[in-house]
Structure 1
Amino acid sequence: MVDELRSIGATYRRSYKSFPASSLVPVAHHQIELVISLRPKDQPEAVRNSLLAHVAEMAALAAILLSIDLGDRERADAYGELGYQVAKEIQSPELTALLLGGRAFGTSYGGDPDGGLDYALAAVDAAERGASARMRAWTHAVASEMYSSTGDEHGFRSSLEESRTVLSGSMDDERWGGISWFDESKASAYEGSDLLRLGRYDEALPSLDRALDRLDPEMLRHRCTAHIARAEAHAGAGHIDAACQDGHAALDLVARIQHRETLRRVGDMHRKLRSARTSATRGLGEHLIDTRSLLAAAGGATLRTDFGPPKV
């Protein structure tokens, strides 16, 4: 039964790549409640640890969805803290690294890039203590983004190089406890986004082109963020029509997965471009309004997500 539960959890974690946020958050919450009903702390150690690992994985899933997709930082932090405490309790480097990496994004996007870097480097340290190879590669990529957010080009390049070095070696993917997936296509997306943050717009475009060429079509969230990054790079390089084209592609995906961080970024980009008064910028503005209306309507019709994490 526990093996089946963990298998279901792996499916939900993979579903992050393409399922709407408001549909997955209640699923993750109910999985945590299900584990609590099984009284994990009364079970033999192996069963207990496996059940609690499932709690940490589902808490991580809820935290990242609430933070980046739904913009609810307070509840995201609550789920993230629950997952982190459970991961430490069962002494799992894999899940500790996952939770710390997730907190890096939430902290940095919340306006504290230096704090985000602190979390990312802690995630790298945790992963080095025994996490899977793919988790180690992912934490280095997260650190590359956090370095670029603080303007540290050397840190970004060395971290991304380390990530790719790990990816080039042997994998032990049966141990992967992360959300969705991480591979070379995502490393290219990180590289492009990192260069974008450093204002290297023309340099960013080839990496983002490569990422979008290679990302699996089912990885809707990852394609969504790659499209908005490429749109911003085109905008920075003065390619207004190309920026609007990628903005449309990002909004099409936002409508499917409810990625509000991308919606915000498209809005910011459009405000910078609209003074050009071209048909492309006007069309993007109309698409932006339609997408906001669609997400507002979806927010009233989807499953309730205004609960917090239960106590384990």
Structure 2
Amino acid sequence: MLRRTFTLGSLAGLTAAFASLSPDAQAQASRPGTVDKAVVDELRSVGASYRRSYKSFPASSLVPVAHHQIQLVASLRPKDQPDHLRTSLLAHMAEMAALAAILLSIDLGDQEQADAYSDLGYQVAKEIQSPELCALLLGGRAFGTSYGGDPEGGLDYALAAVDAAERGASTRMLAWTHAVASEMYSSTGDEHGFRTSLEESRTMLSGPMDDERWGGIAWFDESKASAYEGSDLLRLGKYEEALLSLDQAIDKLGPEMLRHRCTAHIARAEAHAGAGHVDAACQDGHAALDLVARIQHRENLRRVGDLHRKLRPSKTAAIRSLGEHLTDTRSALAAAGSPA
């Protein structure tokens, strides 16, 4: 199936993917036969850098990169390689499929294409029997399903991700899947489920780590756990409590984590609005829009639009300014070719 799907990938895509390799690796990878382990290791290293880039790179830049990497793996004929190389190549393919899926779903709003990448990645992850990547793909699918209007289905995917992680994923991946489950519980109104899952996540984070096995996108740590907590409390209508967690998250999130800071700012804006702090809500709305313009996060742009519509009846100068910024951001993203 993989060969049939991707062998006919574009020449431009393969050229771009080969360009990411060193000259020695390019020469070796272009020859027929068994791929050298050094080439595979270099591919995995390149893939790890792309997954880290999720923190700050525009979605429209990273999706083609991930797709080109999938094409490159297919061109190296993983099916014909020795088992240890085959598994490593296919793991790289699944990681790139997961990256493309989450960007297309949450950032660019193309759920159909996101599901196609997610399905590909999950089938590959199952084929190589990787609990790490199965958990990653199922957790990512939880977001798209819940945001698409099916919170109960999102919870099902999140709990499946936890189950997969418990079969042998890294400790940090297990912590992340519990945090995803906390968000899905809060989306269904289940406060006990949210608090129990988040406590499990923090318990995992407080123990010893085996981060050489981490196959996730970007990173997950206590700052992200605080961001999940704040967003979960927001969904449950506990605005003042949410603000405390979101303040902690924004203080702790590194400056390079643009995508995560963007989401935390719009969540804090919504919490301020719920608590009746209009000017503070607008201030965080501006901060979120500044970051949306850099990373092309369509879901957060939609949330700022919803926030502005909620606040607009008050007709203050701060709300009018937020509306102007919203319009400017939509225009800038449209001019850049990103859906707005």
Residues 249-289 of structure 1, C-alpha deviations (whole Å, 9 max, x = no match): 00000000000000000000100001000000000000000
1:91 matched residue in structure 2 = 129
2:49 matched residue in structure 1 = 11
Q: So what's the TM-score if we normalise by structure 1?
A: 0.96
Q: Give the C-alpha shift of residue 95 in structure 1.
A: 0.1
2:309 matched residue in structure 1 = 271
The partner residue of 2:99 within 61, 64, 79 is 61
Identity of aligned residues (%): 86
Amino acid at match of 1:186: K
* Greater RCO, CA 8 A, separation 6+: 1
Q: Give the C-alpha shift of residue 300 in structure 1.
A: 6.7
| 2:235 is aligned with 1:194 | no
1:203 matched residue in structure 2 = 241
1:245 matched residue in structure 2 = 283
Q: Matches of 2:188 and 2:250 in 1, distance apart?
A: 26
The partner residue of 2:159 within 114, 121, 135 is 121
Contact 2:70 2:93 (8 Å CA) reproduced: yes
Q: Give the C-alpha shift of residue 101 in structure 1.
A: 0.1
Contact 2:141 2:157 (8 Å CA) reproduced: yes
Kindly tell me: are residues 173 and 43 of structure 1, through their superposed partners in 2, closer, same or farther at Cα, counting changes over 3 Å? same
Q: Give the C-alpha shift of residue 245 in structure 1.
A: 0.1
Give SS of 2:337's match.
helix
Query: Which segments of 5 or more consecutive residues in structure 1 lack a partner in the other structure?
Result: 302-312
What are the equivalent positions in structure 2 for 1:151-230 lying under 5 Å apart? 151-230=189-268
| 2:51 is aligned with 1:51 | no
Kindly tell me: are residues 282 and 112 of structure 1, through their superposed partners in 2, closer, same or farther at Cα, counting changes over 3 Å? same
Larger Rg: 2
Kindly tell me: are residues 274 and 26 of structure 1, through their superposed partners in 2, closer, same or farther at Cα, counting changes over 3 Å? same
Aligned length: 301
1:147 matched residue in structure 2 = 185
2:146 matched residue in structure 1 = 108
Amino acid at match of 2:170: S
Amino acid at match of 1:189: A
Q: Matches of 1:298 and 1:32 in 2, distance apart?
A: 25
Contact 2:108 2:338 (8 Å CA) reproduced: no
Q: Give the C-alpha shift of residue 160 in structure 1.
A: 0.0
Q: Matches of 1:41 and 1:127 in 2, distance apart?
A: 26
